[in-house]
Structure 1
Amino acid sequence: MIKIKLVVPRKGYIKHAFERFEEFNRLEEREEHHHEETVEFELEEVVVAADKVAKLELDADVIISRGLMTKLLKEHNEFMPIVDIPVQGIDLIRCLSDCKARFGRKKVAVIGALNMIYGVENLADIVDLPIQSYILEDIEKSASLVDLAASEGCEIVVSGLSTTEYAEAIGLGAAIVETGKESFRQALIEAKRLALVSLREQEKAERYQTILNHAYEGVIAIDLKGQISVFNTAAREILSISEKSLVGHSIYEILQKGKFRDLLLSEGDYREEIVSYQSIQLSVKKVSNFLKGKKVGNMVAFQDVTGIQEMEGKIRKKIHSRGHVAKYTFEDILFRSTEIEKTIETAKRYSEVDSNILIIGETGTGKEIFAQSIHNYSKRRNNPFVAINCAALPEDLLESELFGYAEGAFTGAMKGGKQGFFELAHRGTIFLDEIGEISAKLQSRLLRVLQEREIMRIGDDKIIPVDVRIIAATNKNLIHMVKKGDFREDLYYRLSVLDLHLPPLRERKADIPVLVNAFISKAFPGQSQVMITDAASQKLSEASWEGNVRQLQNFCERLAVLCKGRVVDIYDIEKYLPGVSEERTQPLQQEKEIAAKGSHISERERILQVLKNCHYNKGKAADELGMSRTTLWRKIKEWRIETE
């Protein structure tokens, strides 16, 4: 409900005001019939003498008045919309014609505000009356103007209430200009317009204030005199100020003298200044406010440095709790060889850009460790690192994990839907391990993500932009797969903007002693460690290590268990290197006999034999074969090996 107050010097001063207001509303309702939003208005008459206007307090959205009363109201209500009822020519003509009928053809003095009397002499010929105009700027001078008019031969006074009352008191004829129907309608139209503008501005100010009060940063704005125009909730909380209503106060009263206040009052603009206020450290940004090229004040946005650090810690914990964090860095990669040194140098250069990376290496060469290290060395280090093994999940499940799904997308879909890994990795890195295993359908969807940097959840039609750095890894020859038609050529070139080839362990033998010592120490930290002779170490360096670093790590853990607390010599290496214990000597011999039949034994037969030797324990079999469990699962599926 919008309140309109009609301020007049006498009850009923504007004749038929309420009837005209109701008529106006009916006409307006017809025009607004098709609008979705309608606003109700109410009109109330307020009677007040001109000399009491200064003390008048009005609960209104807009005020309507006339003549000198309007001028007085504007002087004492700076921020209130006030509408002046216009005095139209037809209103004056009616009044002057009435004066002629009542008093005869006598000289008329028209006394009033400039907008009322401007050009009134031009009506003299129309009404056939001599007319003299007098500008009334101060109600206290109305009597003197009437006296002046009388001295200049005027016998009739046309003016407002108090002026005409004085004229009648000294024996002059008098008449008040009545407000015509059209004049009042024009005032109502303008009042409605101003009220709606004011309402929209209030709504905008409320939204602005709500945003400010829910911001993490403290915000203070002042004018050039230091008067506060903005002091949000966060600012009060950070500065420990209990008083809630600070707008209109001087900044000198609120803030203690010091660098923070000086910064707010200074001329220049600043970014990320660290200043002290009482016992806290503040990170402050300061800008000058301009209106039409002229400076009108200053604004600061600031945060408690301790609060920033606590918030960062909470974010890190939240990301870590989801498991989307990279644990390894380049410092965690153990090496002595120049091959790995050069590989790390290349990877660090790749970390400095956001281009896609394809890591190529055999099973167990540390592809994910390099992916995590690249992420932690890049500018994305404080954002999520999301890893997924593309060979570990069926196609449909992998698709929903990567892209997410909308509510009701399929039976069993979570209420509200679910974010996919690409969304979870926003502003961070996604690592797609064993990329060569994805289906043709997923290759097409992945290509779109790489091209458009946007995804669409399963069962949804909304496009979601994502800012993700993609690192893919494979132990397959993707070029060969492209030629065979098993892998999209366009996807391959999108993924392999930057290639990183990881050397197998047999090409970095200088690293084996370093790795062996580290793995044995890690197996039993703080306990008596296994000592290895030079001959045994040499034997380890000569081994082929088809499973690379992962196989070496598994063997070292086995060695640490079986040879704990004593020196390991070459005979121990020869005894335990195949990776079987004494109770499996016979199965091992059978495996050796199979291997002796020729080097061309099929991979399927080898996997099947090891599975049998390990009683189909896939974890142990993977260790024996020097490959990850995921790789073993993939090969079982690929070779269609029946497992018990």
Structure 2
Amino acid sequence: MIKMKLVVPQKNYITNALDRFHEFLLTEESEDREGPDFILEEVVVPTDQVRGKTFDADVIISRGLVSKLLKESHDSTPIVDIPVQGIDLIRSLDECRKRFGQKKVAVIGAANMIFGVENLEDIIELPIHKYILDDIRSSDHLVDLAASEGCEVILSGYNTCKYADQIGLRTMLIETGKESFRQALTEAKRLAIVSRKEQEKAQQYKTILDNAYEGVIAVDLNRKVSIFNISAQKILGISGSHLLGAPITDVLSKGELLDRLLDEKDFHEDIISYESIQLSVKKAGIFLKGKRVGDMVAFQDVTGIQEMEGKIRKKMHMRGHVAKYSFGDIFHKSKAIQEVIDTAKSYSEADSNILIIGETGTGKEMFAQSVHNHSQRSNNPFVAINCAALPESLLESELFGYVEGAFTGAMKGGKQGFFELAHRGTLFLDEIGEISPKLQSRLLRVLQEREIMRVGDDKVIPVDVRIIAATNQDLLKMVQNNEFRADLFYRLSVLDLKLPPLRERPEDIAVLAEAFLQKVTFTKSALQLLSEQRWEGNIRQLQNFCERLTVLCKGQVIDELELAKHLPEQGERESTESNPSFLSEKERIIRALEKHHFHKGKAAAELGMSRTTFWRKLKTWRIETK
């Protein structure tokens, strides 16, 4: 909705103005049905009160002195004159002649209202004197002057005619014709649309500037402030409505920032000081049609940049790069694991790199997350990547990131790598023994220099990352075989953490199984049987087995016989003739019996079982003896 205000000194000053406006709209709508909606409101303001009056309007329509005064006091809102055309003056003068005869007529009005009226004397056959009205306060004086010069009729606006009536002169208002009003409405409509678009554009620019992270200051050629956005005010500690239009030398303290702004030389980026603040600053000239019309600087507080970076990284951390586990989530009963936890807690207090060594499924990532959550980096990202899961080229771009156009398929704008995502946090590199020699060299440089370079870029990016690496391989042996860089190995293994396999801590099996199966309980004999299994896949295999039990076992209590039905068989445990440790328990018992000619005592002794346990196993596995 576009608002137009008709400002007049008295109601119905312009005859049938609103009716004519609606006629105008009907005609216009038939020509342009897609245009915006318009509304016209007549506002009565005495002429002596026009200055300083504000109006909620996209455009103001008025005439004569009121229009002149509005233009002098309103810079931002467009003012449209209702022209007093020659035909309007001719009509009014003709009416004077008909009404008052050949009386001498004084035409008093603003210059834009009665321009050229003296040329109508011969056409109307009336003696005409013209008096230019510049100020409402001079209207009475002009009426007196006209009377002294023999004028008997005053043709003018409302206030002038009112005074003339009081002193006994004949009066007549200058009427606005339909054509003049329509011309004013057409111009008002055009200006209103332009004004609204300009207002929307200006508001967009203002909103963008006021919500930008950067401070922006612009000056015109007179070195007066034309832009001083909210960020600039916050960063520099300067505020107030006086800023726009003020000389920049009165606003900024003397120093580098002021000098750079006044200097016509442009520069892309520099670090300069303003009082006690370090600023990252860019400078550019403002040009219109190739001609310089001003200068601007955009800047950020270096400390603010670091804080913003921290917030961004924290948000990314909250989106998924987070450590879920802590030491309290590591269920155990064994002394061996407790010793590892105690060591890991001590490592957490340092900031050195850690190498976690353990078989597959021993919980290396859980320990890495626990170390992170126990450290001073706990409020920052924990980023994990399996180095064996990606080919070399993809792993490189994931670790170090890349710039736009670095390779076919690279994202527009490039992408941050895991090192950047883990800034001020922890990067967990699982299966570190699988990375290629090329990546070993790049990783070593990061550990030495604490900076990375994106793929396809030549700029270095500082990073503050703690590395926790993990492997199920013998890295030292790989170093000896020239399969892994010795210098990288020693950089990674500043602190070592060795996780014992589950078969070396059988007392933890029951604790873990009960934790995995919270809604199911085991009988003592079932737990004993479960604890006697080797679980070559360690905790992961045990957890998967417990999930299978949840599906297969219908009851809430699992006894030894029920458990035995579902224990891993030979195929699942990859048993081989050459490696008896991978044989199923049932097969190992049968082999021991056959070896000792079914002597139960000797077979139990070889298997490291008591006679009672051995007899229970025979019953569980339904093994017949001779």
TM-score by length of 2: 0.51
- SS of match in other structure, 1:202: helix
Pick aligned residue for 2:38 from 26, 36, 40: 40
Question: 2:85 & 2:244 partners in 1: Cα distance?
Answer: 42
The answer on 1:181 being equivalent to 2:169 is no
- SS of match in other structure, 1:60: coil
1:215–1:234 Cα contact (<8 Å) kept: yes
Question: 2:139 & 2:291 partners in 1: Cα distance?
Answer: 42
Q: Please list the CA deviations of residues 129-162 of structure 1 after superposition, one character each: whole Å capped at 9, or x if unmatched.
A: 2333233333333344344444544332222223
Cα offset for 1:469? 6.4
Question: 1:521 & 1:210 partners in 2: Cα distance?
Answer: 54
Cα offset for 1:184? 1.6
Question: 2:160 & 2:212 partners in 1: Cα distance?
Answer: 57
Residues 268-347 of structure 1: pairs in structure 2 closer than 5 A? 268-291=265-288, 295-308=292-305
Cα offset for 1:315? 7.7
1:108–1:157 Cα contact (<8 Å) kept: yes
| Residue matched to 2:411 | 423
The answer on 1:518 being equivalent to 2:515 is no
Question: 1:319 & 1:16 partners in 2: Cα distance?
Answer: 65
Match of 2:12, as an amino acid?
G
Residues 403-482 of structure 1: pairs in structure 2 closer than 5 A? 422-423=410-411, 426=414
Relative to structure 1, the CA distance from residue 317 to residue 6 in structure 2 (aligned partners, 3 Å threshold; closer, same or farther) is closer
Relative to structure 1, the CA distance from residue 383 to residue 188 in structure 2 (aligned partners, 3 Å threshold; closer, same or farther) is closer
Cα offset for 1:6? 2.1
1:372–1:385 Cα contact (<8 Å) kept: no
| Residue matched to 1:70 | 67
Question: 2:492 & 2:57 partners in 1: Cα distance?
Answer: 81
Match of 1:25, as an amino acid?
L
Question: 2:412 & 2:315 partners in 1: Cα distance?
Answer: 12
Cα offset for 1:275? 1.0
Relative to structure 1, the CA distance from residue 22 to residue 319 in structure 2 (aligned partners, 3 Å threshold; closer, same or farther) is closer
| Residue matched to 2:27 | 27
- SS of match in other structure, 2:50: helix
Residues 20-419 of structure 1: pairs in structure 2 closer than 5 A? 20-33=20-33, 35=34, 38-48=36-46, 50-224=47-221, 226-241=223-238, 247-248=244-245, 251=248, 254-291=251-288, 295-308=292-305, 368=392, 372=396
1:21–1:43 Cα contact (<8 Å) kept: no
Relative to structure 1, the CA distance from residue 104 to residue 516 in structure 2 (aligned partners, 3 Å threshold; closer, same or farther) is closer
2:94–2:124 Cα contact (<8 Å) kept: yes
2:403–2:414 Cα contact (<8 Å) kept: no
Cα offset for 1:259? 2.2
Cα offset for 1:526? 7.0
Cα offset for 1:203? 0.8
Gaps of 5+ in 1: 324-363, 387-401, 403-420, 430-466, 471-510, 529-610, 616-644
Question: 1:215 & 1:130 partners in 2: Cα distance?
Answer: 67
Question: 1:520 & 1:169 partners in 2: Cα distance?
Answer: 106
Match of 1:185, as an amino acid?
R
1:109–1:154 Cα contact (<8 Å) kept: yes
Relative to structure 1, the CA distance from residue 317 to residue 513 in structure 2 (aligned partners, 3 Å threshold; closer, same or farther) is farther
Match of 1:202, as an amino acid?
Q
- SS of match in other structure, 1:5: strand
Question: 1:180 & 1:292 partners in 2: Cα distance?
Answer: 42
Q: Please list the CA deviations of residues 33-59 of structure 1 after superposition, one character each: whole Å capped at 9, or x if unmatched.
A: 3x1x532313132231x3332243333
Please tell me the root mean square deviation across aligned C-alpha atoms, in Å.
4.8
Question: 2:480 & 2:163 partners in 1: Cα distance?
Answer: 115
Cα offset for 1:241? 5.0
- SS of match in other structure, 2:49: helix
1:113–1:137 Cα contact (<8 Å) kept: yes
Relative to structure 1, the CA distance from residue 108 to residue 294 in structure 2 (aligned partners, 3 Å threshold; closer, same or farther) is farther
Relative to structure 1, the CA distance from residue 428 to residue 385 in structure 2 (aligned partners, 3 Å threshold; closer, same or farther) is farther
| Residue matched to 1:393 | none
The answer on 1:8 being equivalent to 2:3 is no
Cα offset for 1:164? 2.7
1:109–1:156 Cα contact (<8 Å) kept: yes
Relative to structure 1, the CA distance from residue 368 to residue 133 in structure 2 (aligned partners, 3 Å threshold; closer, same or farther) is same
2:209–2:216 Cα contact (<8 Å) kept: yes
Question: 2:75 & 2:495 partners in 1: Cα distance?
Answer: 84
1:68–1:112 Cα contact (<8 Å) kept: yes
2:280–2:300 Cα contact (<8 Å) kept: yes
2:61–2:81 Cα contact (<8 Å) kept: yes
- SS of match in other structure, 1:423: coil
Cα offset for 1:240? 4.5
2:105–2:155 Cα contact (<8 Å) kept: yes
Match of 1:217, as an amino acid?
E
Cα offset for 1:171? 4.1
Cα offset for 1:197? 1.3
Count of aligned pairs: 381
Match of 1:93, as an amino acid?
I
Relative to structure 1, the CA distance from residue 124 to residue 224 in structure 2 (aligned partners, 3 Å threshold; closer, same or farther) is same
TM-score by length of 1: 0.49
2:103–2:127 Cα contact (<8 Å) kept: yes
Q: Please list the CA deviations of residues 372-412 of structure 1 after superposition, one character each: whole Å capped at 9, or x if unmatched.
A: 59x98xxx8667989xxxxxxxxxxxxxxx9xxxxxxxxxx
2:4–2:38 Cα contact (<8 Å) kept: no
Match of 1:79, as an amino acid?
S
Question: 1:91 & 1:47 partners in 2: Cα distance?
Answer: 24
2:2–2:192 Cα contact (<8 Å) kept: yes
Gaps of 5+ in 2: 322-387, 418-453, 458-478, 497-574, 580-626
2:403–2:455 Cα contact (<8 Å) kept: no
Question: 2:491 & 2:299 partners in 1: Cα distance?
Answer: 49
- SS of match in other structure, 1:54: coil
